[in-house]
Amino acid sequence: MKYIDDIPVWGVHEDNTLEQAKVCARSAERFALMADGHLGYGVPIGGVIAAESRISPTAVGFDIACGNKAVRLDMPGSELRENIHRIMDDIWNTLSFGVGRKNNEANEHPLLGRNAHPGWDTEAAAPLKRKAEAQLGTIGSGNHYVDLFTDEQDRVWVGVHFGSRGLGHGIATWFLKAAGAKDGMMVDPVWLDVQSDLGAQYIAAMQLGGEYAYAGRDWVCARVARLLGAEVMEEIHNHHNFAWHEQHDGRMLWVCRKGATPAFPGQRGFVGGTMGEVSVILEGSESTDDAIREAQRAAMFSTVHGAGRVMGRKQAAGVFDRKTGACKREGLVKPEMMNDWLRQSNVVLRGGGLDESPHCYKRLPEVLAEQGETVRVLHTLTPVGVAMAGANEFDPYKD
């Protein structure tokens, strides 16, 4: 950890990411930047931003409650590897990947019932209930995925990454407009007074998005377990685009983590790598070392949520005319580059585009090393199968 203009920063970042962090820190009471950070809409991905009586819809972001869940199954890795092509076909044909998709299976949940959550009474969320009903348990596009792993004991894990789908995006859009947010990347984050009517509505709608995202990830993990004929033995579940009311250094703060995983001492998290590299189960350290504890407090007990991008999507995949398909600008990542990486990693891929190739990301072990001993790795997960939305999905909010 180092301090840049009094901001605790982990890892090495591009100048524009650091500049965005400085802009955010001016209006926040506390700010920190994790090692997987990169430029985001108004607040950098990997940013942790907090205030006592204000909450920032910019910092939570468009994909409210995007997060990770991992479950360990009672299935040996040998069985997974032996049947991986059939299993990945089953996952691809059963689950819904992509923008605006509906779940092909009935998915009733108490959260969708009458008077099930005060968030449904907000002006932002009320019109979105039918869409939420249709999309519960769908995965979306961009870097959202369903992965199958084996750990160091050759046990099988399922890992998923996605958020609150159209519900969260609609809520975020409504409140950002109501708060007067400006378009663009390098803009000041907007804040809402938590005591105001708009602030109270936002908290209720955001928390609805959080419960909805949890329900969706629960459903997908359970459905994959059923496809594999296995039982869930252990589970780890976290948001990383959310705001929590937490105590830090004797003060109650609204802590917004945008692409950052909560990591209080003993709290476990699932942090994904790229489609062709390891992911991890980790936990916040329970160290008594003063320097480590100080670093944890500076991070507001947060850590990375992934490897962190180093290449933009258009930079990686190129720019194509959406009508004609003609290449307007060639990308830096070629199909053979991604295929070679996956072949060497023995990963079976369904879907996935060049903008999600491992070449577009930092290396997760190096990113975790930058976080130092604030966290410790419990399990290292090696990918066997990866399913993501197809390469031709258009989504302006993938990041």
The model's pLDDT over 352-361, given as tens digits with 9 standing for 90+, comes to: 999 999 999 9
Q: Where are the alpha helices (DSSP H) in 70-115?
A: 77-82, 84-94
Helix (H) or strand (E) holding 380: strand 375-390
234, pLDDT greater than 70: yes
In this predicted structure, what is the pLDDT of residue 392?
66
Least confident range of 67-81, 94-108, 381-395: 381-395
Tokens 């790795």 belong to 377
Across 49-77, average pLDDT: 98
CA distances in angstroms from 18 to 11, 148, 194, 235, 369, listed in the order given:
11, 35, 28, 35, 20
84, pLDDT greater than 80: yes
In this predicted structure, what is the pLDDT of residue 398?
39
Q: How far apart are CA 191 and CA 176, in angstroms?
A: 9
In this predicted structure, what is the pLDDT of residue 395?
45
Q: How far apart are CA 29 and CA 253, in angstroms?
A: 9
Q: Which one-letter amino acid corresponds to residue 17?
A: T
In this predicted structure, what is the pLDDT of residue 396?
42
In this predicted structure, what is the pLDDT of residue 344?
97
Average pLDDT of the chain? 95
In this predicted structure, what is the pLDDT of residue 327?
87
Digit-coded pLDDT (tens) for 122-140: 999 999 999 999 999 999 9
Q: How many CB atoms lie within 10 A of CB 381?
A: 26
In eight-state DSSP terms, residue 185 is S
386, pLDDT greater than 60: yes
75, pLDDT greater than 90: yes
Cα three-residue angle 39-44-45, rounded to 5 degrees: 95
In this predicted structure, what is the pLDDT of residue 253?
98
86, pLDDT greater than 70: yes
In this predicted structure, what is the pLDDT of residue 399?
36
Residue 246: pLDDT band with limits 50, 70, 90: very high
Tokens of 224: 């994959």
Four-point Cα dihedral 287, 290, 294, 296, nearest 10: -10
Helix (H) or strand (E) holding 297: helix 290-298
In this predicted structure, what is the pLDDT of residue 323?
83
Digit-coded pLDDT (tens) for 136-191: 999 999 999 999 999 999 999 999 999 999 999 999 999 999 999 998 888 999 99
SS3 393: coil
On whether the CB atoms of residues 290 and 358 are closer than 8 A, the answer is no
260, pLDDT greater than 90: yes
Tokens of 327: 């290449």
How many alpha carbons fall within 13 Å on the CB side of residue 358?
A: 24
Quote the percentage of the chain above a pLDDT of 70.
Answer: 98
Digit-coded pLDDT (tens) for 280-328: 999 999 999 999 999 999 999 999 999 999 999 899 989 888 788 888 8
CA-closest candidate to residue 261, choices 102, 12, 28, 69 = 69
User: Hey, which residues does 49 pair with through a beta bridge?
Assistant: 31, 256
Tokens of 302: 């947060």
In this predicted structure, what is the pLDDT of residue 166?
96
Q: How far apart are CA 332 and CA 371, in angstroms?
A: 29
Residue 25: pLDDT band with limits 50, 70, 90: very high
Q: Which residue has the higher pLDDT, 313 or 209?
A: 209
Across 216-239, average pLDDT: 98
